[in-house]
Structure 1
Amino acid sequence: MRFTRRHPLLTAVLLCALAVLAARPADGDGSHAPGHGSASGVSAEVARLYEEAAAATERYEAGRREAEKQRAEGQRLEERLDRERREMAVLHEDLGRIASSQYRDGGGLPLTAHMLLADDPEELMRGQRVVRQAEVSLDKAIGRSERAEARLARDEAKAAAAWKELEERNTELAALRQGIERKLEAARWKLQGQADASVAAGACRGAVRLDQPRTRFTTSWVAPVETYELSASYGSGGARWANRHTGQDFAVPIGTPVRAAGAGEVVKVSCGGAFGIEIVVRHAGGYYTQYAHLAAVAVDQGERVAPGQWIGQSGTSGNSTGPHLHFEVRVTPETGSAVDPVPWLARHGVSL
């Protein structure tokens, strides 16, 4: 306190100098500055657009399935309508044959004259009753068929209208999805540009606090990304690796949320070098998982993470030929101690 009172100007200068030093990133040592970095806006935008694109795709796929269902229903009704019409044509032919038969058998004469001329009037009466019953049955069948045809025609028209409406809505949803994906692609490369700048400087920009998904995992272990294609595997050869590939690569677009494979503590967040932006998490049992070639991080060193928690976003930083997540399982936090992650995950209930 005595020092402050005697030298107020010197104190102000020292405080300013300390503030400047605190604001400077570490010089080329791959260290990680906690807190929100300047990339947070782009990272959050990529994460938001990623979820919007997924939701738009889900709505489009649901609409497409419903449209296919309506189209199939319309086709089914059309086939039934064709059958009804063919049956109607047969019934009309039957009615025509009965009328022709009556005419040939003297249908134009009064029934009394038929009875006088007949050898067996009772047999004639029985024949007349059979004919009338056949006519009545045929008339009823034709009436039912006509009503069924009208009903089917209405149902077919409704199904066709519903299918057309769904097709129009799906066209709109497809356009919406394409618009979101264009924005997402632009934001992804902007995010990657910031990641490349961080790697070149050797200092991460800070954790971006992404809105976590609502899903809560009941399992202890999960795959490090939700949707993926497996690419380079553990132990595979290649010119880009000094010896053999030390992890499992997941081919995913830039900005894809990367998940903690299991509960643990973040022991390393760094930028620079062959792995670009990377995170290492320590788990119970003496194992570590590494997540490399990221575009952004969402956790700080020393932070506890839960299974499935978003800890970063995939990218193509460092020694990378394209967007993917490089995932390793190690027995130490450092490179060179990796084990094959695919059977290791399988033993923990995660099949890739």
Structure 2
Amino acid sequence: MPSYRRHPLVVPVLLCAAVVLAARPTTADGEPGGDGAGDGPGSGLSERVARLYEEAAVATQQYEAGRVEAEAQRAKARRLEQLLGRERQGITVLREDLGRIARAQYRGGGGLPVAAQLVLSSSPDKLMRGQHVLARTNMTVGNAIGRSRRAETRLAADEARAAGARQALERHTAQLAVLKKGIEQKLEQARWQLQGQADASVAAGACRGAERLDGSPTNDKGKWAVPVDGYTLSASFGSGGARWASRHTGQDFAVPIGTPVRAVGAGRVVRVSCGGAFGIEIVLRHADGYYTQYAHLASVAVDQGENVTAGQWIGQSGTSGNSTGPHLHFEVRVTPEVGSAVDPVPWLAARGAPVG
């Protein structure tokens, strides 16, 4: 059996060769070969990440709607608690009224029941007045007892409603939290799997086949778009830094790995390439003669030579190449090559796609 100790470069060379063979071959100018099907292990991962992004967006909307509903339920619970407090005070007052009526009867009758006072009355007038007092007293007592019972019934019902509202709120909030957390965990795992594929492609210098992203939104014909959503602006055009030979040549949009990247305008794909400082990159040519570059990608969703529309998803952001973290490096150029960049922020603003 041959020993690999005598040939220490054999294993790395064989591994690199396996990566190159597994990756999609490219032409000399970076144009992908083959049919762009994205075959092999991991095929469909880009679409899965895009789908998880959509699910996460829906879950976030549901969570926000649930949060608003929860606030409304909290306000409702507070109103119910205030109502319960007033009802409890009302019941206390009713009970005090019953006590006052009972004490008044006792004092007015000298300790005798009202019926006994009527039997012992000495004149018809006194008897009639006694009957009137008795009827009025019975009505007062009956009304007081009825109000007290209705108030206690209403209090019990409102207490049950308040408890039900609180329990429903707690269940709803817990369900939303579990849903959102589960999708975020799946998305984070898929993001780094996607980035691992991107790093392998860059190491091999060969891009994987374009993987189409279903549900890609597009703008109306002739409109322009910002390349990503949910971004934070980081390194700007012309800024200095140790990572650039002179000045920064584009605008960086800090976004998580796998964020769908859009074509800012209609155009034609003139380059899809891997390797080098920009990692996985796409360059488009637009009808007005300008070029736009999208770099440090994790995947591509278009092939070289393809026509794209404004707002179409052309890839997914990543951190491939010379990158310190997940972001999209976006450039506007007067030629397809490095060194001809112009400031992309005012360029986009002039076309109705302000950045900020």
* Alpha-carbon contact 2:218-2:309 (below 8 Å) kept: no
Deviation of 1:263 after TM superposition, in Å, equals 1.4
Q: Deviations over 1:157-181 (max 9, x none)?
A: 4323423432453354255325413
Q: Counterpart of 1:192 in structure 2: which amino acid?
A: A
* Alpha-carbon contact 1:36-1:209 (below 8 Å) kept: no
1:138 partnered with 2:140: no
Deviation of 1:133 after TM superposition, in Å, equals 5.1
Give the alignment of 1:270-349 within 5 angstroms: 270-349=273-352
Name the CA shift for 1:24/1:314 in 2 (closer, same or farther; >3 Å): closer
Deviation of 1:24 after TM superposition, in Å, equals 5.4
Q: Deviations over 1:98-118 (max 9, x none)?
A: 22222222273445379769x
* Alpha-carbon contact 2:195-2:319 (below 8 Å) kept: no
Deviation of 1:121 after TM superposition, in Å, equals 9.0
Distance in 2 (alpha carbons) for counterparts of 1:167 and 1:95: 45
**Ranges in structure 2 where 5+ consecutive residues have no aligned partner:** 1-20
Q: Counterpart of 1:62 in structure 2: which amino acid?
A: Q
SS at match of 1:188: helix
Name the CA shift for 1:84/1:351 in 2 (closer, same or farther; >3 Å): farther
Q: How many residues align?
A: 326
Q: Counterpart of 1:195 in structure 2: which amino acid?
A: S
Give the alignment of 1:239-278 within 5 angstroms: 239-278=242-281
* TM-score between both structures, scaled by the size of structure 1: 0.77
SS at match of 2:55: helix
Deviation of 1:260 after TM superposition, in Å, equals 0.8
Provide the alpha-carbon RMSD of the alignment. Answer: 3.5
1:59 partnered with 2:59: yes
Give the alignment of 1:115-264 within 5 angstroms: 131=137, 134-170=140-176, 172-174=178-180, 176-198=182-204, 201=205, 203-213=206-216, 215-218=217-220, 220-264=223-267
Distance in 2 (alpha carbons) for counterparts of 1:147 and 1:349: 63
Distance in 2 (alpha carbons) for counterparts of 1:159 and 1:197: 57
Deviation of 1:145 after TM superposition, in Å, equals 1.4
SS at match of 1:308: coil
Distance in 1 (alpha carbons) for counterparts of 2:43 and 2:226: 21
SS at match of 2:87: helix
Distance in 1 (alpha carbons) for counterparts of 2:37 and 2:183: 29
SS at match of 1:204: coil
**Ranges in structure 1 where 5+ consecutive residues have no aligned partner:** 1-19
Deviation of 1:25 after TM superposition, in Å, equals 3.7
Deviation of 1:187 after TM superposition, in Å, equals 1.3
Indicate the larger mover: 78-87 or 233-242: 78-87
Distance in 2 (alpha carbons) for counterparts of 1:271 and 1:186: 18
Percent identical among aligned pairs is: 49
Deviation of 1:197 after TM superposition, in Å, equals 1.9
Deviation of 1:311 after TM superposition, in Å, equals 0.6
Name the CA shift for 1:347/1:95 in 2 (closer, same or farther; >3 Å): farther
Deviation of 1:224 after TM superposition, in Å, equals 0.8
Deviation of 1:297 after TM superposition, in Å, equals 1.6
* TM-score between both structures, scaled by the size of structure 2: 0.76
